[in-house]
Structure 1
Amino acid sequence: MTGTHSQDGEQAGGGRYGKDLFEPEHPHEAERIDAAALVYDPVTTRRLKALGAGPGRRCLEVGAGTGTVARWLLEEAGVDEVVALDRDTGPLAGLAGPRLRVVEADLTDESLRPGGFDLVHARFVLMHLPERRRLISRLAGWLNPGGWLVLGDAVELPDVLDTSSAYRRTMDAMWQALRATIGTDTSSVPAYPHFLREEGLRNVAADLFCPPLVAGGPLARFWSETWSRMQPALEATGRVDAGVVEEALAYLASPRLAELGPGMAMTWGQRR
């Protein structure tokens, strides 16, 4: 497996999300994605609405997943057309209508030409892809004049006082395993506003949403399913063993759970 190296020298894997990890055909994958959507969709849709998502707009939803944002754009925002793009569109089978176009394609495919859009949105997509800076240029190039590019990716504000708990060790092992397996890298996410400025976009701004982890809540369920599915890769990092992972999973379900979980940095900018 080939890879690239980050500035700290850690090798990034050449695998792909949905192929080497988190296969869409897994019986619990849609449930895992929807658990995170319950937390992040309200934040996302408020921003898209504030940026004018509505009638008269053509929108591109990149990495459409199970279609929760695409469905909101169609049914709640009332946009004229949504193009839902994903490498595997099976989870979008329930979406249908004359204002929806489902495109099964890889964002990195140079032959992809989806047209021009008034809104391009990608959430938790670029962080898993190589050459993400080049992909931001590509997404910005698909904007119509006055159109908005909205990017959301993961950030984490770890508790620097906690270096040894099962939760912290498992979370750290997860980020290392994701990078080693599929090349996930969140280090450039805080630079997204600068990248959009470099693309010539105006009205560039950003915000940060870090939801609390609550036992029994959707985000705790998301991380529990994620860690359970990744357990062999977590143990392969050497940071944790089966006992540590099991302790971390029990903590996610415990009333003792009190953590500021990984959140989402959202950045947006408008084509002149």
Structure 2
Amino acid sequence: MNEKGFGENLPLPVLPVRPRDAHKGRFGTVLIVGGSLGMSGAAGLAGLAALRGGAGLVRVATPAPVLAIVASYERSYTTIPLEADKHGRISLRACEGVMEAAAEADWIALGPGLGRSLGLSRLVTRVYSELSKPLVLDADGLNALARENGQLPRPGGPRVLTPHPGEFRRLVGPSGDTRRPIEERWQLARQQAANWGVVLVYKGHPTLVTDGTRCYVNTTGNPGMATGGSGDVLTGLIAALGAQGLEPFAAAQLAVYLHGLAGDLAAAELSEEAMIASDLIDYLPRAFQEYRKVLSGGQESSR
């Protein structure tokens, strides 16, 4: 049993070593859908994390008014302009464009910097319930699905949901009250993952990953990661690992481990106080190196 007495300790998933004759198509295409006026950075962080996470190709679909800003963050991903509403958020009229772009991707991430509107709630619900491709949902993507009765639409394909405690409470209602003991909230998360038919990443320290049957408690990470944008980095990383062939639970498990390890490596050099979300992306290369050492039988790194 793990340190909280919750679930079994699971070994880290093995991400295959890349063959010498590999090409970008072998490592999958990730589509990030997000961004809005004032929150373009969230989509950019998720796109960068997907690149650093090893995806072969990353595309960021974002409202046309912020496209130039999102494109300026990184030259290695491509961008797709989406029709915007008068407030600079993705319009419901962009739904067909999102579905068409998703059809060309292996994994989709929806939510970073999305904002909230009635049209977005309808768009997210349609994508969630109709798209057959694997989808990781975060931030306002989760808020768009929240209902007072704690029920979610039936998923159209594999789904990974990544709520922090406040978002989880909005998804499940009063039973997810953050004042309840963590073990009770984890047990509820396990039940809801089974009920909803999803992989649930209940973010915190430690972070729980569960599909209702399997449970993984991750202990890498530190308080310096409690800063805006950290969740966007995790979202892009999950999608990237999934696009490389890991099944959804394994992609989420390895992503939270690497995400936290990058945070520990960053904190050791920068301090917890001075860390920002983009530092997690900068330290992902070292986190992957440390992970490979663990797989090869080297010393367990960081925490």
- TM tier, shorter chain? 0.3 to 0.5
Compute the TM-score of the two structures, normalised by the length of structure 2.
Answer: 0.34
Compute the TM-score of the two structures, normalised by the length of structure 1.
Answer: 0.37
- The higher relative CO (CA closer than 8 Å, separation ≥ 6) is in 1
Structure that is richer in strand per residue: 1
Structure that is richer in helix per residue: 2
